[in-house]
Amino acid sequence: MTAGYRIVELGPADIDRIMALERQAFDPSIQADAEVILYRFGLGHRMLGAEEDGRLVGTIGFSLIRFDRHDMTGFPPTFKAYSTQAVPPEPDTVCIYSLGVEPGSRVLQVAKLLVHSCFDEGFHGGLGQAIADGPLPSYAGNSQVKQRPEVRAMVDRYVATGQLPSHEEFLHDPVLALYRRLTECNFIALLPDFIADDEASGGWRVLLWGEFKGPYLPTG
């Protein structure tokens, strides 16, 4: 229990309330359906939930994989493939693909607790790092995030030159800046046509990476 929230393990039996949260937390174009979520559970993926007074207010979905940031050969080309990877023998990486929080909740507090709970399990499980796919909504903008010309310019330059933008340039996007504050992550790749239905991001995703540095939650 942390700050009024309780972290719980979710599974197939929780699918109805997982779907209720999914509909609240994500735009319809990027919502997962029940069949997909159940399929992920069948692959051995996991989901943690944040409860407040027994009510589910946030979820984080993840799998365990092997990943080498210095060799991206064979990295899944789409979000569908990325979020449905089989769990290999001797994984070394937590792979986060879903983080949703009920609107109106203390979004930052819930998101941080979910992410740190996930990291804490990875650290205590002997894994060394985590990756996640971050959206880039200020590329085209939506009802929550304004389009930012400097973000579109950095992506256009990447397409033209293949040169990854600087850390500071990525921080022009407010969602990526938020993830940086929550996780101290690094931005290591731009993924084109990763989620075609995400119009705000122009289909792009940014691959986030970080090494575990120690426990993330208080003990005792």
In a domain, 1, yes or no: no
Q: 83: how many CB neighbours lie within 10 A of its CB?
A: 24
In a domain, 127, yes or no: yes
Residues ≥6 apart with Cβ < 8 Å to 108: 178, 182
How many domains does the chain fold into?
1
Domain-embedded: residue 78: yes
Residue 138 lies in a domain: yes
* Averaged pLDDT for residues 107-135: 95
DSSP 139-205: GT--SSS---HHHHHHHHHHHHH-PPPPHHHHTTSHHHHHHHHHH--EEEEEETTSSTT-TTTTT-E
217 is a domain residue: no
Q: What is the mean pLDDT of residues 72-89?
A: 96
Q: What is the structure's pLDDT at 3?
A: 59
CATH number of the domain enclosing 183: 3.40.630.30
Question: Residue 34's domain spans which residues?
Answer: 6-211
In a domain, 139, yes or no: yes
Q: Does some domain include residue 220?
A: no
Q: Is residue 207 part of a domain?
A: yes
Please give the Cα distance from 89 to 107 (Å, whole number): 35
CA angle 40-69-162, nearest 5°? 110
Q: Who's near 47: CB < 8 A, 6+ residues apart? A: 9, 10, 11, 18, 37, 41, 59, 60, 61, 62, 98
Torsion of CA 123, 91, 13, 42, to 10 degrees: 170
**Measured between alpha carbons, how far is 78 from 56 in angstroms, rounded to an integer?**
29
SS3 of 9, please? Answer: strand
Q: Quick check: 2 pLDDT over 60?
A: no
- State residue 218's pLDDT score: 81
Q: Running DSSP on this structure, what letter comes out for residue 30?
A: G
User: pLDDT tens, 167-187?
Assistant: 999 999 999 999 999 899 999
Give residue-wise pLDDT tens across range 27-47: 888 899 999 999 999 999 999
